[in-house]
């Protein structure tokens, strides 16, 4: 089936009799509506049934009872953490990192590949068509850890950005990770540059891109932050890191650098339209203004922020200021579901606990965060994130006519506020990667066994260390 779908990807697919949420600039919706896919692009869409007489139609999908949306865009994740889910469940960020770094420092190629397969598989089954993995743990002697992650994304069929991370501030320098789990400054820069050269594709519709992504202010030296920014701009790629996640991080920056995280990022060249930060929970008005002024993006991770008691990000204020904001799962060790579609609901609910209360976010704003917002954060809004003619055919069919959703008249409200909706079909570049909630190109049962085995192997190795 998978091979057949690839063979016909250059012909027309018609999807009709569905509700369509385009997430375009006008939030256009059709109910009922249709879409026509031609090769890897959306050729047309609109109200009612598709036009008669279309040539080269190889497949018609009667999507009655479904909502079609752009594919979800996951802007922040740590795939390797799939192997350490369910640990340190009652910790804040710094304590959680201290508890888990000794285990993470034992990962190898086989573990990293299995963890990436598990993370990507669950993301894809839940409607994600574009994903980011911020991988920053490269223990000495662990081999090539970037290649297996990229291979797993290619096999799953998900559009992918590897945020090639790094750490050079180990325990001896006042950081949290063990010294043998960090790289030297020069090694980190050299390896990051080599990863960009080997894997980054800057073309329209690229399936694999690379970002330069030192881990965080408390695990990276100032010199690495500055030179990483220079490297990224020399190579023409984006920059990503963690920022303003916790009160403890803010205190760390004040004590070590004499300034808060946003001012520190500005001093190291880390604000700009080519930059996005994960979390951004503890930001005052001046921080938000700096992000808005420079076009710096935010990956909002509501479930992880709650899991680690980090706080509530000021998403309504960020959006009002014009800051690009997308959604992120974050590492599966701080968001055990590993799914992004649940973040639509959690983003809305968590933000309504903040100062703006019921006016914080609407269901449609939450959907925009998970689609167009994420595309904008990744610099790919011209390609993905909304359903418009000429854009890439990355889209999801959500089944909303079952017991869990059938009595909710508004399909977008059903998707965002209701139970997790089943994915009947998911397409990337017009190629179907999920059918009836199952992966088409990867044996997910085999992946489940592999992730279980590798998680147990990692636990055994860490216990002996």
The closest alpha carbon to 315, from 267, 290, 349, belongs to 349
What's residue 120's pLDDT? Answer: 98
- Domain membership flag for residue 462: no
Identify whether residues 108 and 235 lie together within a single domain.
yes
- Domain membership flag for residue 435: yes
CATH code of the domain containing 181: 3.20.20.140
Q: How many domains does the chain have?
A: 2
Identify whether residues 112 and 237 lie together within a single domain.
yes
Tell which of 351, 377, 403 closes a domain.
377
- Domain membership flag for residue 450: no
Examine residue 286 and say whether the peptide bond preceding it is cis (omega within 30 degrees of 0): no
Identify whether residues 183 and 113 lie together within a single domain.
yes
* Domain housing 112: 72-377
**In contact, 92 and 422? CB cutoff 8 Å:** no
Identify whether residues 140 and 125 lie together within a single domain.
yes
**In contact, 229 and 239? CB cutoff 8 Å:** yes
**In contact, 132 and 327? CB cutoff 8 Å:** no
Rounded Cα gap, residues 191 and 138, in angstroms: 10
- Domain membership flag for residue 188: yes
Tell which of 377, 400, 420 closes a domain.
377
Identify whether residues 172 and 262 lie together within a single domain.
yes
Identify whether residues 45 and 123 lie together within a single domain.
no
Identify whether residues 132 and 251 lie together within a single domain.
yes
- Domain membership flag for residue 449: no
Identify whether residues 104 and 177 lie together within a single domain.
yes
| Phi and psi angles of residue 164, each rounded to the nearest 5 degrees, phi first | -70, 105
What's residue 10's pLDDT? Answer: 57
Q: What is the CA radius of gyration of the chain?
A: 21
Examine residue 32 and say whether the peptide bond preceding it is cis (omega within 30 degrees of 0): yes
Q: What would the two tokens of residue 446 be?
A: 């085999």
136-165: pLDDT as tens digits: 999 988 889 999 999 999 999 999 999 999
Identify whether residues 6 and 144 lie together within a single domain.
no
Rounded Cα gap, residues 284 and 261, in angstroms: 11
| Phi and psi angles of residue 379, each rounded to the nearest 5 degrees, phi first | 75, 25
Identify whether residues 293 and 239 lie together within a single domain.
yes
- Domain membership flag for residue 446: no
- Domain membership flag for residue 461: no
What's residue 279's pLDDT? Answer: 98
- Domain membership flag for residue 286: yes
**In contact, 159 and 131? CB cutoff 8 Å:** yes
| Phi and psi angles of residue 66, each rounded to the nearest 5 degrees, phi first | -115, 155
Identify whether residues 140 and 196 lie together within a single domain.
yes
CATH code of the domain containing 410: 2.30.40.10
Rounded Cα gap, residues 199 and 215, in angstroms: 20
What's residue 203's pLDDT? Answer: 98
Rounded Cα gap, residues 313 and 209, in angstroms: 28
| Rounded alpha-carbon distances, angstroms, from residue 208 to 10, 130, 199, 419 | 20, 10, 7, 32
13-34: pLDDT as tens digits: 999 999 999 999 999 999 999 9
Identify whether residues 252 and 128 lie together within a single domain.
yes
The closest alpha carbon to 121, from 439, 451, 453, belongs to 439
Residues in the chain predicted with pLDDT less than 50, given as ranges, are 1-9
């Amino acid at each position: 089936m998978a091979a057949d779908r690839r063979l016909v990807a250059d012909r027309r697919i018609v999807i009709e009799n569905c509700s369509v949420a385009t997430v375009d600039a006008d939030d256009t919706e059709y109910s009922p509506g249709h879409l026509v896919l031609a090769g890897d692009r959306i050729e047309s869409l609109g109200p009612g049934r598709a036009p008669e007489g279309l040539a080269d139609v190889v497949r018609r999908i009667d999507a009655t009872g479904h909502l079609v949306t752009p594919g979800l865009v996951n802007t922040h994740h740590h795939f390797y953490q799939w192997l350490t889910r369910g640990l340190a469940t009652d910790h804040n960020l710094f304590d959680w990192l201290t508890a888990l770094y000794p285990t993470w420092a034992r990962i190898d190629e086989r573990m990293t590949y299995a963890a990436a397969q598990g993370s990507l598989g669950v993301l894809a089954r839940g409607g994600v068509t574009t994903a980011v993995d911020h991988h920053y743990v490269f223990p000495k002697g662990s081999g090539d850890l970037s290649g297996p992650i990229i291979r797993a994304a290619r096999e799953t069929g998900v559009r992918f950005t590897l945020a090639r991370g790094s750490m050079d501030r180990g325990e001896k320098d006042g950081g949290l990770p063990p010294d043998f789990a960090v790289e030297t400054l020069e090694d980190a820069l050299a390896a990051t540059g080599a990863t960009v050269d080997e894997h980054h594709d800057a073309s329209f519709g690229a399936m694999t891109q690379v970002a330069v992504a030192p881990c965080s202010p408390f695990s990276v030296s100032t010199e690495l932050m500055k030179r990483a920014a220079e490297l990224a701009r020399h190579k023409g790629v984006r920059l990503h890191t963690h920022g303003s996640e916790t009160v403890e991080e803010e205190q760390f920056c004040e004590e070590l650098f004499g300034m808060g995280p946003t001012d520190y990022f500005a001093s190291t060249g880390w604000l700009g339209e080519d930059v996005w930060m994960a979390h951004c929970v503890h930001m005052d008005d001046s921080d938000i203004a700096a992000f808005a002024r420079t076009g710096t993006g935010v990956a909002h991770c509501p479930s992880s922020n709650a899991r680690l008691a980090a706080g509530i990000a000021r998403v309504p204020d960020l959006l009002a200021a014009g800051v690009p904001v997308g959604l992120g799962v974050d590492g599966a060790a701080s968001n055990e579901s590993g799914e992004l579609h649940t973040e639509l609901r959690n983003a809305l609910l968590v933000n309504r606990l903040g100062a703006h209360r019921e006016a914080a976010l609407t269901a449609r704003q939450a959907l925009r965060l998970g689609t167009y917002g994420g595309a904008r954060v990744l610099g790919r809004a011209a390609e993905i994130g909304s359903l418009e003619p000429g854009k890439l055919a990355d889209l999801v069919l959500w089944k909303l006519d079952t017991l869990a959703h059938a009595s909710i008249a508004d399909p977008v409200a059903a998707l965002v506020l209701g139970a997790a909706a089943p994915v009947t079909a998911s397409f990337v570049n017009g190629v179907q990667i999920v059918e009836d909630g199952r992966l088409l190109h990867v044996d997910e049962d085999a992946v489940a066994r592999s992730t279980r085995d590798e998680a147990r192997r990692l636990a055994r190795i860490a216990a002996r260390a």
